[in-house]
Amino acid sequence: MRICIVLIIMLSAWLIPSANARTLVVGINESFQIIQEAIREANLHDTVLVRPGLYAQHSIVIDKPLHLIGEGKPQLDAKHQAVELFVVMADSVVIEGFTLQNVGVSFLKELAAIKVRQGHYGSIRNNEIINCFFGVYLEYATHYQVVNNYIVDQADDEASAGNAIHVWKGDYLEITHNTLSGHRDGIYLEFVNNSQIHHNQSYRNLRYGLHFMFSNNDAYSANEFRENGAGVAVMFSREIRMQHNHFSHNWGGASYGLLLKEISDGEISGNYFVRNTIGILAEGANRIIIKKNQFSLNGTALDMKGNSLDNEVLANNFLANTFEVVTNSQNNNNHYERNYWSGYVGYDLNRDGSGDEPYRPVNLFARITDQIPAATLMLHSFFVSLLEFSERIFPTIIPATLTDQYPQMQPYAYDQN
């Protein structure tokens, strides 16, 4: 018992700010000119205030709970060397208000402007990180916040590009209100659980705007993903909630708004998919609820491969997509109900809001172009119309059971706010 009390007191001294905390000032005319020296002299939970200016300093190690504040966005410049600027190796560290730039590329080390190693209960906020290999890199971090950072690069190819925010093993993280551009991935999460990603803008990244690998029980909401190689990839994960995001202008031969690969038990609701090559591409996605989303002007709205089982597609708007649903199987193990399909031309004699005839959203010509891309030259031709008509009367290729029994006559009015 006595040992436990001693441990609690020691832990409290480490984590809880002291009422006698000091402020150590760094600047040309201040007591400290070198940031690392101020950190060395600081006590637990002191504040290190860095005055405006250009500091050619790097590899700054923070090994105790501290609050580092940049006044007027002081610049730390790595001058394209293969070094890191801040390395955090303690709990309860806050870094805010800096401009960090020019961390060089390394093909052996994942160099970052700010790297956190086994840090907990910390925060990285209100920084500008420009032209750095990796922006913020967390490994074995829990209860961490990455908030309102502007992280941009101008990488030309994936091989020489890092990620704007990269997490390797994390729990209870919050990544919010960041602007991320020009990296390989905007946000990359591997073995990250119980975390929230919301209100970020991720655009013009070479690969994905957001990328999950082997992560569970996370949520991302109210983010914008546009003009990336692809919007979001959720892979080998389960119970991911995806709500109220915008996926737009993710164009390319192998691009899409959202990729689901080997995931299960998630929810996709309230999102907008606009002008993507494919809105959602699902491979091995099981028990996913897809509801109240809007798919507009995409090449293909929903590409659901035959190995995706027991999914629910409910009350979505499908508006003016070239192809609404594509699948590569004659069997259907998913449920479609009460969606609005702009391609539906049925009627509603009893005026209950649903079409009197079921709707089959799978397009035979989409199956053909999936196998023979050059066949797109025949899009909207009389021959294709005749082919579609014949397939609907005598289905032999597309799954006969893939129907919406209650297609809506009017699109849903979703609240975009």
Q: Measure CA 219 to chain center.
A: 10
Per-residue pLDDT band for 109 (boundaries 50, 70, 90) equals: confident
Q: What is the pLDDT of residues 330-360, one digit of tens each?
A: 788 999 999 999 989 889 999 899 999 999 8
Closest Cα partner for 296 from 255, 340, 331? 340
Provide the CB-side half-sphere exposure for 331 (13 A, CA). 6
Report the range of poorest mean pLDDT among 281-290, 359-368, 398-407. 359-368
- Higher per-residue confidence, 233 vs 417: 233
pLDDT tier at 412, thresholds 50, 70, 90: very high
- pLDDT over 70 percentage in the chain: 86
